[in-house]
Chain A
C-alpha cells in the first residue's frame, strides 16, 4: 500500500506554499477585492513562469508532462492561498477539454499557449439560473458559427478563448466548440460576483466563428467526462481552502480571550473546530482517491470524482462559515480575511455544478457500479 504523495510531490507542495506565501499573501487577494482589476495578472505570469499551467500537458505540446498528482498538489496550494487567478478555468477546464477531445492541429495550436499562460481559457456552459442540461441548451453552433448567450462564465472577461457547450448542429445532443473571444460577434459583459477575485461574465455570440471540438452531437458525454476530471482538481482547491479556514479559526480562537480565558478552551468552539477537522480529513482522503482515479484514468473515476467533490464542497462550506462564527463580530467585517474563504467556498462549490448535482451523479455512479 502506497496511498501517499511521493517525496518529490511533497517537495513541490512545500515550494508552492513558499512561493504563494511570498507572492500571494492575503493582501494580494484583498488588492483584487478592493481594486478594479478582475484578476492578478502579475501573479498569473509568475505562476506560468513556474510552469504550473503546463503541469499535466504532454511535453510534445509544450507542457511539463507531469502527472495529475502534481496538479492536485498545486490545486491544493492555490486553494489554500485563495489565489485571485483564473487557474481552474484555464487549466482544469479549457486545457483539459483540448486534451480530452481536441484534434492534433487544435492541440498543437492551443496547448503550448495555454501551457505558457499567454492564453487563458474559460468554460462556458450555463445560460441562466438553474441546472444546464443537454435538453435545455439554447445556444447553437450550426455550420461553424455560434449563436446565443452564455452566463456566469467564470473568468469569461479575463479569458482569450472559451470552450462552449451548445446544442448539436441540427440534431439531438450537445456539441463542444472552441471560440476566440476577440472574434467578431462576441460581446462580453462582466457580471458582478460573490468573489470579486474570480470574475464572471456573460458572453453573447452573434454568428461568431467557432471550431468544433470533438465529434458533433457527442458533446454531452464529453462534458460529463470533462467535469468528472475537473471535479477532482476543484476538490483539491476546496480542500486547501478548507484547511486554511480551519487554521485561521484556530489561530484566532487561541489568541482571543473571553471571560478570562482563550475561547479555544471552550468546548463549544473546540467541538466546532474538531468537526471541521473531521470534514476536512474525510474530504482530503476522498481527494486522494479522486487524484489516483484521475491519474490512472480508472473506470472508478465518476464515483471517485463525485465523492471527492461532494466531500470537499461540504468541508469548505463548513470551515468557511464556522471560521467567521469563531471570529465573532470581527469576522463579519471587511477588514478581516474570513470573507475570502466564505466567498471562494461558494464560488467553487457552484462553478462546475452544485452539491445537489454531484450528489445525484454520485448515486448514479453507485447504482451503475452495483448493477455491474
Chain B
C-alpha cells in the first residue's frame, strides 16, 4: 500500500507538469477576454499541443491516453487554480462519447475534433418540466416530414444553451407505445430557426440554466443517433459517460475555511472550536471528507491497474452535497446574528458560506437528486429491486399525469 506513481505514470506526470508550466495562460493573456473566449483560448492551446481530451483516439483529436493518464493530467491541471473555467464539459464529457458510439464515421470526423479543440460548444437537451427524475416521461415531440423531423415542445435546466453551438436532444416520436420505447435521439444546430432560449432565475438570484423552447424546429434525419425508438438506449450512453471526476482538485477549501472560522470566532468568550458540540460536528465532516478522498484513492488504484473503479465511487455527490449544505448552515450559526448578512465586505470569507448555503439546494438536485442517487446505490450496488411502476407496459399517452 503506497501513494506512489509507477515509473511510467511518473514520466507522464513530469511531461504534463512541464508542459503546463510553460503553457498555462498568464493573467495578462486572459485580461480583457470574456469567460467563453478565455475557455476557448486555453482549450485551443491544449489541443494544438496534444493535451486536449487526451483519452480520445488521435483521429478524433485526442491523444490515445490511458485512464490513469487522464487522472494524472486532471490532477496536474487542477494545480493551476486560475485557469479559465470550462464551457466544454457537456460537449466533451457527454456529447462526444455518444457521437463516438452512435454517429457515422463522417459525422465523428466532422464534429468530434471540433469538440476537442473548443471550436464548438454543445449543450444537453434532456430534462423537461414533466420529465426530471423520470426522464423517459418527456413530452417534446418529433414528427416526420420527408427527410426532416419537426420538433415541438420545451426542455429545461439546460446549462449554457444560450452560448452553445449544438445540442443533444431526446424527444418522443411515438406516444402510442410504452414510454421508453417511443423515444428518439438527435443532435441539432442551436441556431436553427424556432429554437428560443430563456434563462431561469434561480432562488440564489443567479442564472446558470435555461428553458429551451422548440417551435416547428427542423432537424434532418441524418442527425438522428440510433434507430427511431432507440432514444432511451442512446441516452444511457450519454448518462453513463459522466466525466471521470475522480482524482481531480477537491482541495477541501470550504472545510478549511470552516475550521478557520471556528478558530477565529468566539463562543462564550473562547474560540468556538473549543466547544465540544462544535468539535463533534467538525470531526464528523472531516470523517466524511476524508472518507470520500480515500475512496477516490481506491478508485485511482483500480484505474492505475487498468481496472474499472468499483461501485463505491458512486457515493460522492450523495455525501458531499448535503454535507456542504450543513457546513454552510453551521458556519452561519457560528456567526450568530451576523450570519444572516450576505455581504462581500462584511461577511467572513467574503460571504462564502452564504454563497454555499444558497447554491447547494441546486446541487442536491442536479445530475440526480439525493433520492435518485440513493435508489441507484440500492439497485445497482446492493441489488435491491425497483419500486413497482404504474406506467410499465402502458402506452405513453395512457399514463396518468398530474397537474405539474
Residues of chain A within 8 A (CB-CB) of B286 are: 307, 362-363, 366
B170 within 8 Å of A (CB atoms): no
B206 within 8 Å of A (CB atoms): no
Contact B273 A367 (CB under 8 A): yes
Residues of chain A within 8 A (CB-CB) of B290 are: 285-286, 289, 307, 311
Task: Give the residue of B300, B319, B371, B384 whose beta carbon is less than 8 angstroms from that of A273.
Answer: B384
Residues of chain A within 8 A (CB-CB) of B288 are: 282
Residues of chain B within 8 A (CB-CB) of A366 are: 259, 282, 286
Known: A4-B1, A267-B371, A367-B273. A283 touches B291 (CB 8 A): yes
Residues of chain B within 8 A (CB-CB) of A187 are: none
Contact A289 B294 (CB under 8 A): yes
Contact A286 B287 (CB under 8 A): yes
Contact A359 B280 (CB under 8 A): yes
Residues of chain B within 8 A (CB-CB) of A253 are: 384
Interface stretch of the complex, out of A159-167, A178-186, A202-210, A257-265: A257-265
Nearest CB in chain B: distance from A324 CB, A = 18
Task: Give the residue of A4, A278, A310 whose beta carbon is less than 8 angstroms from that of B315.
Answer: A278
Contact A282 B4 (CB under 8 A): no
Bound-state Cα–Cα, A289 to B302, Å: 16
Residues of chain B within 8 A (CB-CB) of A291 are: 1
Bound-state Cα–Cα, A274 to B383, Å: 11
Contact B295 A292 (CB under 8 A): no
Known: A281-B291, A360-B279. A3 touches B375 (CB 8 A): no
Known: A4-B298, A274-B374, A356-B280. A285 touches B1 (CB 8 A): no
Residues of chain A within 8 A (CB-CB) of B387 are: 265-267
Contact A264 B291 (CB under 8 A): no
B31 within 8 Å of A (CB atoms): no
Contact A274 B388 (CB under 8 A): no
Residues of chain A within 8 A (CB-CB) of B294 are: 3, 285-286, 288-289
Contact B379 A4 (CB under 8 A): no
Bound-state Cα–Cα, A261 to B304, Å: 42
* Cβ-closest chain B residue relative to A72: B1
Interface of B is mostly: helix
* Cβ-closest chain B residue relative to A309: B287
A314 within 8 Å of B (CB atoms): yes
B378 within 8 Å of A (CB atoms): yes
B346 within 8 Å of A (CB atoms): no
Residues of chain A within 8 A (CB-CB) of B5 are: 1
Nearest CB in chain B: distance from A145 CB, A = 38
Nearest CB in chain B: distance from A303 CB, A = 8
Contact A1 B382 (CB under 8 A): no
Bound-state Cα–Cα, A132 to B373, Å: 43
Bound-state Cα–Cα, A273 to B383, Å: 11
B385 within 8 Å of A (CB atoms): yes
Bound-state Cα–Cα, A267 to B379, Å: 10
A110 within 8 Å of B (CB atoms): no
Residues of chain B within 8 A (CB-CB) of A292 are: 1-2
Known: A4-B298, A281-B295, A282-B295. A363 touches B283 (CB 8 A): yes
Bound-state Cα–Cα, A280 to B173, Å: 44
Residues of chain A within 8 A (CB-CB) of B1 are: 2-6, 69, 288, 291-292, 295
Nearest CB in chain B: distance from A369 CB, A = 10
CB-defined interface of B261-290 with A at 8 Å, one 1/0 digit per residue? Answer: 001000000000100100110111011101
CB-defined interface of A1-23 with B at 8 Å, one 1/0 digit per residue? Answer: 11111100000000000000000
5 pairs across A/B with beta carbons < 8 Å?
Answer: A250-B383, A274-B378, A289-B290, A358-B283, A362-B283
Instruction: State the 9 A-B residue pairs at the shortest beta-carbon distance, nearest first.
Output: A282-B291, A270-B378, A359-B283, A285-B294, A274-B377, A3-B297, A274-B374, A285-B295, A265-B385
Residues of A in contact with B (beta carbons under 8 Å apart): 1-6, 69, 250, 253-254, 261-262, 264-267, 269-271, 273-275, 277-278, 281-286, 288-289, 291-292, 295, 306-307, 310-311, 314, 356, 358-360, 362-363, 366-367, 370
